Structures are given as structure tokens and as C-alpha cells.
């Protein structure tokens, strides 16, 4: 017994020696003047980038609204270039628009659509076009609806404007035009759906895949549903990183734990709770309204315009994804969707009437399909668990292995016992 206690004591002392340096914390050095300036520089760059987004959004929106008044009703949108040289041309963008509108089987001419391509360099940025606003202004007028897609671009030496070319320039154009496509095809929404769309700033109307993709296509670049760019959980992530073993522990937590970045409602929805799916579609409007109150109500917004850059907490509501409406059309067909879109009932009632099932039930199916086909689930699968759970096979397995280990030890010990 004395030998065992001695061994234990020695082990404790050895462990203590190893741990000693961690307990004796070195005082953090005061940041130098140069470091303070660097920190301030980072802050200013962040603020400048948000301010530039708002500046471009508001300035171009004003010109866009003026344009709506002047634009005659036409089955195809007009393309307006602002701030470029006289030789500038947007042939690529024109081709894309023509191709999109040709795919519409009918066009509501009470909706006047325009594309405004503006020169980002006018706002003092030669290269960084991602700091300029790209989105849509949707206004209701007595004679119909005006929809103006606003996209920044630059001008090449031959006058070609990059909007519509390969890469993110093309993606941005389609994204800005997507709400206008829905309006052009289905007309002004009914008051129920319209109120939800306005409150969420048309966030779920960002895809045009319903025009040219088959039913089985997985949209949203195979992102997880309910995911957002600001996935960081402000309560959890930073605490883990600072207190535990740095980013490695955080990575392990994110890999082994449930996908908390989808939010509480999203997780419950994925695990089969249709009421959470229902709430998740309807709830984010208040959050979006609060976050974007500095932006006129007719403009769509991007994540980088939101002042609260700290990220989403677990319980913060998130929208399903900007391809949600497009997927709804592809799944249910344009005729049923048109009746949903035009309905004056509240969103959930309109959904039930048009599609014959509840908003929650359909969204739950949609959500699971998207999750199972997302890149995240394919390459970094995370268990969908809620609360403290322990699968029944684990305790049994642990007990069985313990028994085997004990048995082997006993057998080995019996054979080696000195009598």
C-alpha cells in the first residue's frame, strides 16, 4: 500500500512540474503604439467598407428609382450603364438577360424591370468591387411594381463591362436579377406573401434555378440550409478558443459536435420538428428589420451591410436559404406557386391552401434533402443530436470491452502468479 501511495505521489509531483509553466502566466506585454495603430487601421477599414456599401446602395438606388418612373413597360428589361465611358458596352449582361427572359413562359408587363450597371470606380475603388452594393430595389407603384437590379462593375480597355462574365461577376448579376425574375413571371405578390417578402427583404428569392434546372438539382451551391456566412457563435466559439487549447479544440468541437451553426430552429427542423421549420421561415423578419433599419425598405441587403458583425447566437433565427422560393417552384410547379404567390392570406395559410400541406412539413423535407446533399454533410458530416444523448449501443459496447479487458488481465495474471 505504501509503495502504491508513493507512486501516486510521485506521479502527482511529475504532473505538477509539467503543468507549472501554464500556471505561472507571463504578463501580457502592453501593445506598442505601432500595434495600436494597426488595430485602429483594421477597425477603420471595416467601418469604411460598410460605409461604402451604404453609400453606393443609397446613391444608386436614388437613380434607379428615377429610372423606374421613366422606363416604359416592356417584356424585356432595360439595361442602363452609369458612370462609364461612351464606348462602354454590356453585351454579356444583355445576352444573359435576354436568355433568362426568353425562358419565362409569360411576362407580367405591369412589372417594370431594369438593370443598372454602375462604375464602382466612381466611388473611389478601382479594384475592390465587392465593397460596392449589389442588390435589388423593389418598389410598389400605383401602376405596378418596379424592380431595379443594381450591380457594380469596371470597364475594360475595349469598353467591355465585366458583369455577366465568368466567375463571381456573373453570379452577382443573376443574384441581383433573381427577385425581378420572380416578379416578372408571377406579377406583384399578394399581400400575405408580399408582407413576408418585404419584411425579409426578398432574402429567400435569390436564385433563378427554377427557370433552367431540373427538379433533382441541388441549389445554393450545396450549402447547408439555415446556414449563414456569420456562423460564428459568439457565446461558444470564442470562449472555447481562449480558455481551452486554442483553435484545435474548437475545430474538434465543431467536427464532433452537432452543427450548431444552423441555429436551434434549424437543428430541430432537421431532426423532424415541423413546428420549428415553420417558425424558422417566419421568425427572421424581425431580426432582419432590426439589423437593416438604416437601409431603405425597398432594398435587398447583403450580410456585410449588417452592423452587428458578431455573428449569430444559437437561438437567433436564420432564413432557410436564398434558394428556398426557387426550390419551392421546382418542387411544386409554377401553377401552384402562382396561386401561393398571389394569395392575400398570411404566408402559412397561403402555403397550405396552394400546396395542400403545411409550411413546416414541406420545409422540413426540403431542409433534410438540402442538408443530406450539402458539401458540409458530404465532407464534414456532423451528427444531428439534440440535448444530451447516448446511443444505447455505446454503454453496452463499453461494458463488453471492459469485460474482455478484465478477463484477459485476469487470465494473464493467473498464469504468471508466483506461488
Partner 1 sequence: MSRARVLALLFGAGFADEAPAQDALAWRDSVQRISSGIRALQDSLLEQDSTVQEIQRRGLLVVYATSQNHARAVAALGALEKLQARWFGGASPSPDGFRIVLNTIEERGIFSAFYPTSSSQGKVIVRGLPDTGNASRDYRASTSDDLGPDLISAFSELMVGTLGSAVRSWLQHPPPLYLDDVEREYLAMYGVVTGTDRAARGCVAGVPGACAEALGLRHVPGTDPTAHFGSVVRADFLLTALEIGGSNAWSRLRSAGDASAEEALAVAAGVPSDSLLAAWQRHILSLRPNQAPLEVKPVLLAVAWTAGLLVMMLGASRWR
Interface ranges with partner 1 (CB under 8 A): 21-22, 24-26, 28-29, 32, 34-35, 37-38, 40-41, 44-45, 47-48, 51-52, 54-55, 58-59, 62, 95, 123-124, 127, 154, 156-157, 162, 165-168, 170-171, 221, 245-246, 293-296, 412-413, 416-418
Alpha carbon of 344 to those of 138, 179, 286, 329: distances in Å?
19, 19, 20, 19
Q: Is 189 helix (H, G, I), strand (E, B) or coil?
A: coil
Cβ contact 317:277 at 8 Å: no
C-alpha cell at 254: 465543431
Closest CA to 132 of 176, 98, 188, 68: 176
CA–CA dist 100, 212 (Å, integer): 9
CA–CA dist 104, 178 (Å, integer): 12
CA–CA dist 280, 196 (Å, integer): 13
Q: How far is the CB of 74 from partner 1 (least distance, A)?
A: 24
Residue closer to partner 1 by CB (options 123, 323) is 123
Q: How far is the CB of 125 from partner 1 (least distance, A)?
A: 10
Q: How far is the CB of 409 from partner 1 (least distance, A)?
A: 11
Cβ contact 262:228 at 8 Å: no
Residue closer to partner 1 by CB (options 223, 342) is 223
Q: How far is the CB of 181 from partner 1 (least distance, A)?
A: 18
Residue closer to partner 1 by CB (options 221, 401) is 221
* Contacts within 8 Å (CB) and 24+ apart, 213-216: 213/330, 214/330, 215/330, 215/331
Residue closer to partner 1 by CB (options 32, 85) is 32
Q: How far is the CB of 57 from partner 1 (least distance, A)?
A: 8
Q: How far is the CB of 31 from partner 1 (least distance, A)?
A: 8
**CA 12 to mean position of chain CA atoms:** 49
* Contacts within 8 Å (CB) and 24+ apart, 328-335: 328/362, 328/366, 329/210, 330/209, 330/210, 330/213, 330/214, 330/215, 330/217, 331/215, 331/362, 331/366, 334/105, 334/185, 334/186, 334/210
Q: How far is the CB of 347 from partner 1 (least distance, A)?
A: 26
Q: How far is the CB of 187 from partner 1 (least distance, A)?
A: 28
User: 224 — phi, psi (to 5°)?
Assistant: -70, 150
How many Cβ atoms from other residues are within 10 Å of residue 357's Cβ?
14
Place of cell 435576354: 98
Question: Per DSSP, what are the bridge partners of residue 150?
Answer: 116, 135
Residue closer to partner 1 by CB (options 301, 337) is 301
**CA 367 to mean position of chain CA atoms:** 14
Cβ contact 283:203 at 8 Å: no
Residue closer to partner 1 by CB (options 33, 335) is 33
Residue closer to partner 1 by CB (options 298, 316) is 298
Residue closer to partner 1 by CB (options 26, 215) is 26
How many Cβ atoms from other residues are within 10 Å of residue 47's Cβ?
11
Q: Label the pairing between strands 144-153 and 135-141.
A: antiparallel
Q: How far is the CB of 294 from partner 1 (least distance, A)?
A: 5
Q: How far is the CB of 299 from partner 1 (least distance, A)?
A: 10
Residue closer to partner 1 by CB (options 241, 331) is 241
Residue closer to partner 1 by CB (options 27, 392) is 27
Concatenating the DSSP letter of every residue in 26-65 gives PPPPPPPHHHHHHHHHHHHHHHHHHHHHHHHHHHHHHHHH
Residue closer to partner 1 by CB (options 166, 256) is 166
CA–CA dist 397, 161 (Å, integer): 64
Amino acid at each position: 500500500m505504501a509503495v502504491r501511495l508513493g507512486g501516486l505521489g510521485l506521479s502527482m509531483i511529475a504532473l505538477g512540474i509539467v503543468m507549472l509553466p501554464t500556471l505561472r502566466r507571463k504578463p501580457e506585454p502592453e501593445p506598442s503604439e505601432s500595434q495600436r495603430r494597426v488595430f485602429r487601421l483594421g477597425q477603420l477599414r471595416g467601418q469604411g467598407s460598410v460605409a461604402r456599401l451604404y453609400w453606393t446602395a443609397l446613391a444608386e438606388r436614388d437613380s434607379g428609382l428615377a429610372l423606374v418612373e421613366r422606363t416604359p413597360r416592356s417584356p424585356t428589361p432595360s439595361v442602363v450603364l452609369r458612370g462609364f465611358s461612351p464606348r462602354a458596352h454590356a453585351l454579356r449582361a444583355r445576352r444573359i438577360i435576354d436568355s433568362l427572359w426568353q425562358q419565362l413562359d409569360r411576362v407580367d408587363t405591369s412589372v417594370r424591370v431594369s438593370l443598372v450597371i454602375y462604375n464602382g470606380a466612381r466611388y473611389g475603388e478601382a479594384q475592390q468591387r465587392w465593397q460596392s452594393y449589389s442588390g435589388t430595389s423593389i418598389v410598389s407603384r400605383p401602376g405596378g411594381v418596379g424592380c431595379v437590379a443594381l450591380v457594380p462593375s469596371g470597364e475594360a480597355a475595349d469598353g467591355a463591362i465585366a458583369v455577366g462574365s465568368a466567375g463571381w461577376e456573373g453570379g452577382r448579376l443573376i443574384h441581383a436579377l433573381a427577385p425581378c425574375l420572380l416578379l416578372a413571371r408571377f406579377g406583384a405578390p399578394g399581400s400575405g406573401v408580399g408582407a413576408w417578402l418585404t419584411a425579409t427583404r426578398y432574402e429567400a428569392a435569390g436564385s433563378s434555378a427554377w427557370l433552367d434546372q431540373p427538379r433533382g438539382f441541388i441549389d445554393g451551391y450545396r450549402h447547408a440550409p439555415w446556414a449563414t456566412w456569420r456562423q460564428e457563435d459568439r457565446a461558444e466559439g470564442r470562449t472555447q478558443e481562449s480558455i481551452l487549447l486554442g483553435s484545435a479544440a474548437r475545430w474538434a468541437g465543431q467536427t464532433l459536435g452537432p452543427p450548431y451553426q444552423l441555429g436551434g430552429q434549424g437543428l430541430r427542423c432537421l431532426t423532424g420538428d415541423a413546428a420549428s421549420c415553420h417558425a424558422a421561415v417566419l421568425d427572421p423578419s424581425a431580426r432582419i428589420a432590426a439589423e437593416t433599419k438604416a437601409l431603405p425598405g425597398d432594398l435587398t441587403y447583403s450580410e456585410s451591410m449588417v452592423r452587428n458583425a458578431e455573428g449569430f447566437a444559437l437561438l437567433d433565427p436564420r432564413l432557410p436559404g436564398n434558394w428556398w422560393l426557387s426550390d419551392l417552384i421546382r418542387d411544386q410547379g409554377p401553377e401552384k406557386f402562382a396561386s401561393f404567390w398571389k394569395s392575400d392570406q398570411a404566408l402559412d395559410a397561403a402555403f397550405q391552401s396552394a400546396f395542400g400541406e403545411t409550411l413546416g412539413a414541406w420545409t422540413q423535407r426540403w431542409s433534410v434533402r438540402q442538408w443530406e446533399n450539402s458539401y458540409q454533410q458530404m465532407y464534414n458530416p456532423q451528427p444531428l443530436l439534440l440535448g444530451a444523448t447516448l446511443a444505447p449501443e455505446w454503454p453496452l459496447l463499453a461494458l463488453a470491452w471492459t469485460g474482455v479487458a478484465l478477463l484477459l488481465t485476469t487470465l494473464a495474471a493467473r498464469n504468471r502468479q508466483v506461488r
